[in-house]
Structure 1
Amino acid sequence: MEYFLFQVDNFIHADMHPGNILVRLSQNSTSRKRLFKSKPHVIFLDVGMTAELSQGDRINLISFFKAVATRDGRTAAESALRLSKRQNCPNPKAFIEEVEEAFTFWGTPEGDLVHPADCMQQLLEKVRRHRVNIDGNVCTVMVTTLVLEGWQRKLDPGYNVMQTLQTLLLRADWAKSLSYTIDGLMGP
């Protein structure tokens, strides 16, 4: 899951299934002991179906995922409304209020029992009900993320995808601010 969330070249694999994933072990991992100490490489195959996000789409999608990970309902709703260049939501204010209300519940002890993937599914249901447009490439990334999260939940139920998302987004913010600081210090 973390590999998917940290795409290197901004290409998103849109046809993810077990037949398209290869795990390559190092050549000298013949013994069982070496196998568990080795660092396998995960390779995504069959990139016939891919999506590439524009810079604006990436910024909006990162803002959306960051808001979901930090349980900021208003920002999540506002970010969702920016996930299409042609937004036709008839009542953006009602959408924002409903999403905020849901996030407020998810932040309670009772709401904490709801799995993050179920929160995301409920959020996308609100997107559908309020007729919020999401561009195709952005939707591809969101659906692929949910598919991977479902696999991850079955393979390792203890893995916290929201914690990983928060860590990666924080790291991205830190790296961006560090780069900005270095550029400012080294610039003319």
Structure 2
Amino acid sequence: MHPGNILVRVAQSKSSRKRLFKSRPHVIFLDVGMTAELSKSDRVNLLEFFKSVALRDGRTAAECTLRLSKQQNCPNPQAFIEEVTKSFDFWGTSEGDLVHPADCMRQLLEQVRRHKVNIDGNVCTVMVTTLVLEGWQRKLDPEYDVMHTLQTLLFRADWAESLSYTIEGLMAP
């Protein structure tokens, strides 16, 4: 995807009267190219991964990452877990809090590469797409706090249940 494949549609007011509710813009994606289908276990694991990132729980994030492949070839999983935990511990400090969440994810993916952690292609597609979308969001509104939104949404039980139902419907074979 590239910016030329993204449209923003805003409803035009046909009358000069004030509306009770202002319309919200709609983002339209054209020619998304790559698609991915995740298994139920991958969806559950990915949701747990994002929750651990929102909580800055490095150990759980690393353990989830190691489960993102059906065949894991990481030569030293414990070293990977320890390095990721150390990074997340830093990100939880006041100094580390200044590091943008996307930069944290990029560092995590670099740790994945260095430790030869396997991530299945479909899961990797979702993760990379998430980073691309976050990058666009940052360009559109640099003040928007994506981590706050992630924390709010992931820990609302009604939203998580709704998300699970929606994902099941979208990803059903």
1:147 maps onto 2:132 in alignment: yes
Check conservation: 2:91, 2:97, Cα contact below 8 A.
yes
| Equivalent residue number for residue 156 of structure 1 | 141
Superposed displacement of residue 41, structure 1: 2.0
> What code does the residue aligned with 1:58 have?
R
| Equivalent residue number for residue 45 of structure 1 | 30
Superposed displacement of residue 175, structure 1: 4.7
Check conservation: 2:42, 2:68, Cα contact below 8 A.
yes
> What code does the residue aligned with 2:59 have?
R
When residues 40 and 153 of structure 1 are mapped into structure 2, their CA distance, relative to the original with a 3 A threshold, is: closer
* Length, aligned pairs only: 161
1:82 maps onto 2:62 in alignment: no
Distance, in Å, in 1 between the alignment partners of 2:4 and 2:79 is 42
Q: Deviations over 1:37-79 (max 9, x none)?
A: 3222222221442112111111111111111111000000000
> What code does the residue aligned with 1:140 have?
T
> What code does the residue aligned with 2:141 have?
D
Superposed displacement of residue 134, structure 1: 0.4
| Equivalent residue number for residue 102 of structure 1 | 87
Gapped regions of structure 1 (runs ≥ 5) = 1-15, 180-188
Match of 1:51, SS state, is: coil
Check conservation: 1:29, 1:38, Cα contact below 8 A.
no
Superposed displacement of residue 160, structure 1: 1.0
Q: Which has the higher contact order (CA 8 A, sep 6+)?
A: 1
When residues 109 and 64 of structure 1 are mapped into structure 2, their CA distance, relative to the original with a 3 A threshold, is: same
Gapped regions of structure 2 (runs ≥ 5) = 165-173
| Equivalent residue number for residue 40 of structure 2 | 55
> What code does the residue aligned with 1:89 have?
C
Superposed displacement of residue 145, structure 1: 0.9
| Equivalent residue number for residue 7 of structure 2 | 22
> What code does the residue aligned with 1:143 have?
V
Relative to the length of structure 2, the TM-score reads: 0.83
> What code does the residue aligned with 2:99 have?
V
Relative to the length of structure 1, the TM-score reads: 0.77
Q: Deviations over 1:77-127 (max 9, x none)?
A: 000000011110011111101111111111111111111111111111111
Distance, in Å, in 2 between the alignment partners of 1:64 and 1:109 is 23
Q: Percent same amino acid at aligned positions?
A: 81
| Equivalent residue number for residue 132 of structure 1 | 117
| Equivalent residue number for residue 170 of structure 1 | 155
Superposed CA RMSD: 2.4
1:111 to 93, 96, 119: 96
